[in-house]
Amino acid sequence: MFSPSAASAEEPFYQPPGALIPGSGQGRVDAEIYSPGMRFPIEAGPAYPNSQVWGVGGYNGPPGSQCSAKNYAYPWFDNYCETRSWTMPLCPSGTGHQGQDIRPSTCEKMLHWTVAAATATVTNVADQPSDYALYITGADGTRWDYLHGGGGIVSLGQEVEAGSRLDLVSNNFGGTPTSIHLHFNIRQDVAGHGFVYVPPYMSLVESYKQLMGLGSQPPIGAFDAASCGAIRGWAQDPDEPEAAISALLYFDGQPSDPDNTGVQVLADRHRDDLCMSLGSCAHGFEIEVPRSLRDGLEHTVYAFASDDGSGPAVELDDSPQRFTCAPPAIPEGVRRWVGSPEVLAAWRLSPFWDLAKLPDASVAAIPVGVALGEAPVVVQADDGSETLWLIDQGLRRLIPSPAIAARWGLDVEDPEIWAAASLLGLREGTNLRPEPWMVKGSGPQIYLIDDYQCAPEDSSPLCQSASGTTGDDSEGGDPDSSGSGSGSGSGSGSDGGGSSDTGGPALPDGFGQAEEDGCGCRSAGGAGSALALLALLGWRRKVTR
């Protein structure tokens, strides 16, 4: 008699739910744990759930002995919904096998104890030769069935604790011997179906991990592509195949490199191509290439996956990938000076995601507008209207949609409430743009590209094609520009922190300094400047939108 060994923590001991032995029917792809916290129904492991009929020596299986070592080996196979004639409303075909067949550690009958899956009451006992079913029922109505056993030591109506011995695994089939195994069912009240047999497979998986002290399996996944269209791939935790886990992307450096930029994104996108291969569909991730990396240079991105954050991240297949993207077209508008790290943080703007690096001449060619205010102000009228407005430059600017508000990171859950007369009395400016767009040259100054707000009778060339209603730009713009805030951008900025000739003063010392290092948000090490922390705010917002 061979002596099987327990699965190691690294070894995947089971096939996905619904993965039946080929040719044995159509399984139910269902990763739900219907009996959470239950005790594995055989006292000691290892154990081998698989098919009795389609296994070696089975009625429809390969020739050989039912005691073949192939039947007593990992991985497990689900056989809930395996081809049978019993009515099964949860099975794809409407009929099938009601539960899971489980072989004990050896092919010997009346040796291996079955035990109670939970605290329950014995509601049926196999006390007659023709009766081979023992049932226990929990307080919530869940029933656990133990079939084909013998030598039972419990009686009808007896209260049993989880782990209490019930009977011995055997081959009793009402006088007709079957193979040596435990047939295990779980019955529950399921909405729309009534009291039915539910899939026991994942409940067995989880309880077996507890019995055998198995560690969690590492995440799996693949890094499909990094192109100018998208950065995408997939990741899954085999221990919780339905749950979404995080993909970790590191730009221009390994995780240990202090000069990398790290991005965390949830792998929860539905992908049809994953449904069959994984038994679960929503494990894709996809993000756009950050604007700061669309600079005509080659960049490298490494992709990892993390299931719960407690274990090491695992690098995905086909990582790393490389991409080179041409600089984006600059949108029309004026450049509004972002005057300090505090302003950048208050507006939740991200130099990594939202900013394009341009030649100084290109920045200087953009007309200068009013400096960006200290913080966004989102307001709503007190007349019951749900319309949200951004108060900017003394104007009210429409926030067109929740998606645009999210893209800007605006707090729309708690807007300021203004009297309708006061709010509507303000001149209406242009709608808030669909997304923030920033530029910078070789110096540290950062600018937001935005609409020029035309005042009534404004003769500026910028207003000749303006599409919005007019506004007042009297708040003062870039301190080095002309007082009207509508200059051509030809002014010579002050030296400040080593500024270039892009119009407007430099930011405070150190602001933008990390830009020379590829600043965005660093996952480890890197610049300790205020900008690195502030960029993190915007970075988190973008990857979770």
Q: Give residue-wise pLDDT tens across range 209-252.
A: 889 877 667 899 999 999 999 999 999 998 789 999 999 999 99
Q: Is 13 exposed, middle or buried (0-12, 13-18, 19+ CB in 10 A)?
A: buried
**Residue 308: its pLDDT value, please?**
62
Q: What Å distances lie between residue 336 and 165, 352, 458, 478, 541, CA to CA?
A: 76, 18, 19, 7, 22
**Shared domain check, 502 and 387:** yes
**Residue 130: its pLDDT value, please?**
64
**Shared domain check, 248 and 198:** no
**Shared domain check, 342 and 415:** yes
Is residue 78 within 8 Å of residue 100, measured between CB atoms?
yes
Q: Which two tokens stand for residue 291?
A: 């604007």
**Residue 215: its pLDDT value, please?**
66
pTM over 0.85: no
142 found inside a domain: yes
Q: How confident is the model at residue 516 (pLDDT cuts 50, 70, 90)?
A: very low
543 found inside a domain: no
- Nearest Cα residue to 24 out of 76, 92, 82: 82
- pLDDT per residue as tens digits for the range 418-427: 999 999 999 9
**Shared domain check, 204 and 91:** yes
* Average pLDDT taken over every residue of the chain: 83
Across residues 1-10, what is the average pLDDT? Answer: 44
Beta partners for residue 335, in sequence order: 368, 449
**Shared domain check, 258 and 185:** no
Boundary (domain end) residue, out of 212, 239, 272 = 212
DSSP 351: H
Across residues 434-450, what is the average pLDDT? Answer: 95
- Nearest Cα residue to 443 out of 533, 486, 504: 504
Angle at 14 between CA 8 and CA 16, to 5 degrees: 145
2 found inside a domain: no
Q: Which stretch of DSSP H or E encloses residue 129? A: none
Angle at 98 between CA 28 and CA 122, to 5 degrees: 130
532 found inside a domain: no
Q: What does the alpha-carbon distance between residue 368 and residue 354 come to, in Å, rounded to a whole number? A: 19
207 found inside a domain: yes
Q: What Å distances lie between residue 356 and 55, 133, 465, 502, 519, CA to CA?
A: 62, 71, 25, 15, 12
Q: How confident is the model at residue 528 (pLDDT cuts 50, 70, 90)?
A: very low
Boundary (domain end) residue, out of 182, 212, 242 = 212
Boundary (domain end) residue, out of 166, 185, 212 = 212
Q: How confident is the model at residue 177 (pLDDT cuts 50, 70, 90)?
A: confident
**Shared domain check, 359 and 316:** no
38 Cβ neighbours under 8 A, 6+ residues apart: 117, 118, 144, 162, 203, 206, 207
- Nearest Cα residue to 38 out of 154, 189, 210: 210
452 Cβ neighbours under 8 A, 6+ residues apart: 333, 334, 367, 369, 460, 462, 463, 466, 473, 486
Instruction: Print the domain residue range for 418.
Output: 334-525
| Max mean pLDDT range (120-134, 295-309, 494-508) | 295-309
**Shared domain check, 232 and 190:** no
Q: Is the pLDDT of residue 26 over 60?
A: yes
40 found inside a domain: no
Q: Using the CB atoms, write b or e for 63-90: b if 16+ within 10 Å.
A: eeebbbeebbebebbbbbbbbbeeebeb
**Strands 438-440 and 355-357: what pairing?**
parallel
Q: What does the alpha-carbon distance between residue 247 and residue 526 come to, in Å, rounded to a whole number? A: 21
Q: Is the pLDDT of residue 277 over 80?
A: yes
CATH number (domain holding residue 172): 2.70.70.10
What percent of the chain is predicted at pLDDT more than 70? 81
**Shared domain check, 165 and 71:** yes
| Max mean pLDDT range (391-405, 487-501, 505-519) | 391-405
**Shared domain check, 164 and 132:** yes
Amino acid identity of 66? Q
Following DSSP, what letter does each residue of 34-80 receive, concatenated? SSTTPPPSBSSS--EE--SSSSTTSTTS-SS-TT-GGGSSSSB---T
| Max mean pLDDT range (43-52, 461-470, 480-489) | 43-52
SS3 of residue 304 by DSSP? strand
Q: Which two tokens stand for residue 210?
A: 């507890």
439 found inside a domain: yes
**Residue 12: its pLDDT value, please?**
72
**Residue 76: its pLDDT value, please?**
95
132 found inside a domain: yes
**Shared domain check, 368 and 309:** no
Q: Is the pLDDT of residue 28 over 60?
A: yes
- pLDDT per residue as tens digits for the range 150-169: 999 999 999 999 999 999 99
Q: What does the alpha-carbon distance between residue 267 and residue 245 come to, in Å, rounded to a whole number? A: 6
> What is the greatest pairwise CA distance in the chain?
102
**Shared domain check, 427 and 289:** no
Count of domains forming the chain: 3
- pLDDT per residue as tens digits for the range 288-312: 999 999 999 999 999 999 876 445 6
**Residue 328: its pLDDT value, please?**
93
Beta partners for residue 120, in sequence order: 160
CATH number (domain holding residue 292): 2.60.40
**Shared domain check, 308 and 348:** no
